[in-house]
Amino acid sequence: MIDSWTFNKIAGAVLGTALVVFGLGELSGVIYATHAPEKPGFAIEVAEAATTGGETPATEEKPLSELLASADPAKGEAAHKKCLACHDFANGGPNKTGPNLWGVVERPIASHEGFAYSDALKSHASDKWTYENLFNFLNNPKGFAPGTKMVLAVKSPTERANLIAYLRTLSDNPPPLPAP
Ligand code: HEC
């Protein structure tokens, strides 16, 4: 496949060069002009190589089920330390600046007793903290609920998956992981 493409490109370039050279004669300026059309050919080759060998963008687009299947709750537990300034994670623990997060996976959004949620988060109250909602919210809280009082974003998809895998364990009856 690649070989025939490469062959076609070389053949095309040779043919194109020949046509231009023969068609326009021996004016010296033409020789420079023949180099210009070759450049897009090179640019396209580079772009093709980038899309076929692109491992890095693929990570970003890994489905959440796959990220969660390989997530490490222990790493999530380490990462959740940055949440402790505002959240308590213990069963029956208090609300702090943010609501208590025991059992938050599959919990209705903005539903923890005694916490004064923002209208931004309350507007999602008919929905639940599914894995996907948590994943999107933690990536960009204000993108998920413009005006939310939750400010900390976790940009790394792997770290978010680890955190969510840890949150999942904070339950007497952890909900199943999403099917791959
Ligand atoms: C600076 C304080 C702060 C930090 C740090 C913080 N949060 Fe929050 N979080 C909040 C506040 C405040 C809310 C309530 C938001 C609202 O009402 O709009 C909230 C809400 C949430 C909710 C929604 C809970 C519900 O009952 O609907 C989740 C889930 C959450 N935070 C997860 C996390 C995680 C995970 C971390 C650590 C990676 C974290 N938060 C770090 C302040 C914080």
- pLDDT tens column, 56-98: 444 457 899 999 999 999 999 999 999 999 999 999 999 999 9
Tell which one of 87, 95, 168 to mutate to probe ligand 1, the residue whose CB is within 8 A of the most ligand atoms. Answer: 87
**71 occurs within a structural domain:** yes
**180 occurs within a structural domain:** no
The reported pLDDT for the residue numbered 165 is: 98
Q: Are residues 83 and 134 in the same domain?
A: yes
**164 occurs within a structural domain:** yes
CA of 33 to the centre of ligand 1 (A): 61
Place 164 in a pLDDT band, splitting at 50, 70 and 90.
very high
CA of 84 to the centre of ligand 1 (A): 10
Radius of gyration of the chain from Cα atoms? 27
Q: Are residues 39 and 109 in the same domain?
A: no
**109 occurs within a structural domain:** yes
Q: Are residues 109 and 154 in the same domain?
A: yes
**38 occurs within a structural domain:** yes
Q: Is the CB of 98 under 6 A from ligand 1?
A: yes
**For residue 156, what are its two tokens?**
């790394």
Q: Are residues 148 and 108 in the same domain?
A: yes
SS3 22: helix
Place 4 in a pLDDT band, splitting at 50, 70 and 90.
confident
Q: Domain range holding 152?
A: 60-169
**For residue 59, what are its two tokens?**
């990570």
Number of domains in the chain: 2
**120 occurs within a structural domain:** yes
CA of 148 to the centre of ligand 1 (A): 9
Cα–Cα distance, 165 to 72 (Å, whole number): 7
- pLDDT tens column, 8-62: 776 677 666 655 555 555 555 555 555 555 555 555 444 444 444 444 444 457 8
* Class of residue 13 by CB neighbours under 10 A (exposed 0-12, middle 13-18, buried 19+): middle
In sequence order, the 6+-apart residues with CB closer than 8 A to the CB of 64 are: 131, 132, 135, 161, 178
Q: Are residues 91 and 155 in the same domain?
A: yes
- pLDDT tens column, 99-141: 999 999 999 999 999 999 999 999 999 999 999 999 999 999 9
Q: Are residues 122 and 68 in the same domain?
A: yes
Q: Is the CB of 152 under 6 A from ligand 1?
A: yes
List of long-range contacts for 5-10, beta carbons under 8 Å, 24+ apart: 9/41, 9/45
CA of 98 to the centre of ligand 1 (A): 5
The reported pLDDT for the residue numbered 26 is: 58
Q: What is the pTM of this model?
A: 0.74
CATH number at residue 93: 1.10.760.10
Q: Are residues 43 and 91 in the same domain?
A: no
Q: Give the residue from 100, 79, 97, 57 showing the smallest Cα distance to 160.
A: 79
Q: Are residues 32 and 79 in the same domain?
A: no
Q: Is the CB of 170 under 6 A from ligand 1?
A: no
